[in-house]
Amino acid sequence: MGPLQGYRVVELAGIGPGPMAAMLLADQGAEVLRIERLQPSGLGIEKPARFELLHRSRKAVAIDLKRPEGVALVLRLVAQADALIEGFRPGVTERLGLGPEICLKRNPRLVYGRMTGWGQTGPLAQAAGHDLNYIALTGALHAIGRPGTPPTPPLNLVADFGGGALYMAFGIVSALLEAERSGQGQVVDAAMIDGAASLMTMFHGLHEAGQFTTRRGANFLDGGAFFYEVYECADGKHVALAPIEDKFLAELYRLLEIDPASMPAKLDRARWPAVKAKLAALFKTRTRDEWCRLLEGSDACFAPVLSLEEAPRHPHHRARGTYVEVDGIVQPAPAPRFSRTPAATPVPPAPLGPESAASLCGWGLAEPEVAALKTAGIVG
């Protein structure tokens, strides 16, 4: 199932964007084997394996990469793989004996995906960092927030998952397509800071055209405009409005029984605060559900602001199957969707345990050899 069925990927386990990139490939049918350390390290926010949703749809095995036998074992897997994902600091896999030069010598068609925050080169390449640091350096963080307040951390969606995981997955698939033509693999340098900068491309264009100011909350996509804003309702819940185009704004006015002649020009920025105050007072007169009954499904570009608990229950998500329940845990379904090669329902994350080493048998190792590796402590 899935368009990537038949491709094999070795994942050197990490945190955040690397696992998500591997999840995206596995969701679409790639056979991914996650190589964990004997003593896995994480964010210090521990939870049972079944809740590690970024680890879904693939098997895992712990291998001691500090011993030459463990490195040799991974190289055997690399020889059979189409791609590899690693998320260490620059130079770490080289010191382990698993760098691109060695792996590509073993498998010339290998796509070697490298996930870092700052990139493989540059003065910050060896520094520690997280999503918030990377988007700070690209201008993305500066642009997000309300006037007179500090920038708002947008979860870790922008650099980790948007600029990191998605660009890594795109880069690997692009390189796999090229390898089909050339017969040669290559290194994919997926830096979260590069991806986050790329995501800001449109805003650079707007800024250069004089249509986007560096003042937070003063632009038409950052909450500055009355027609792209979140409004509180009578029950303390919120709704989101985004009728940017004139015809959609006209539909909002019609449904709200507002005379367009009483409203200022859409791009009259000096009047935006007054209009926002007027709409804020109006939306406070009804509950979120009452506004949904009036506006949802119209061309007014309206949606209720739902919580993590509420979102999966929304009728639109139910109709499309946007969320699935796996092992009793509600989670997003694989995306995007394919007409001829649809993805399978995700498989629960594979915990590391006594039986996890058996996954090596699917990569050409015999059971007695796997048992010997376990006895020697090479495989956990």
Please state, in angstroms and rounded to a whole number, the distance separating the CA atoms of residues 244 and 226.
Answer: 10
246 is catalytic: no
92, two tokens? 């770490």
Catalytic residue among 64, 160, 194, 222: 160
Given 130, 207, 238, 314, the catalytic residue: 130
**How far is the C-alpha of 69 from the C-alpha of 368, rounded, in Å?**
16
- Whether the ω angle into residue 336 lies within 30 degrees of 0, i.e. cis, is yes
Dig out the tokens for 135 from the structure. 């988007």
Residue 116 burial class via C-beta count within 10 angstroms: exposed 0-12, middle 13-18, buried 19 and up: buried
Is there a catalytic annotation at residue 160? yes
Catalogue the long-range contacts made by 170-178 (C-beta closer than 8 Å, 24 or more residues apart): 171/113, 172/9, 172/21, 172/25, 172/83, 172/85, 172/111, 172/113, 173/4, 173/25, 175/83, 175/111, 176/7, 176/82, 176/83, 176/111
254 secondary structure, DSSP code:
H
Across the strands, what pairs with 332?
323
How many other β-carbons are positioned within 10 Å of the β-carbon of residue 340?
A: 5
**CA–CA gap between residue 145 and residue 221 (Å, rounded):** 11
Q: For residues 241 and 228, what is the distance between their CA atoms, to the nearest angstrom?
A: 5
Q: Which residues lie below 8 Å from residue 361, measured CB to CB, with a gap of 6+?
A: 367, 370
What is the per-residue DSSP string for 171-199?
HHHHHHHHHHHHS--EEEEEEHHHHHHHH
Active centre residues (catalytic)? 130, 160
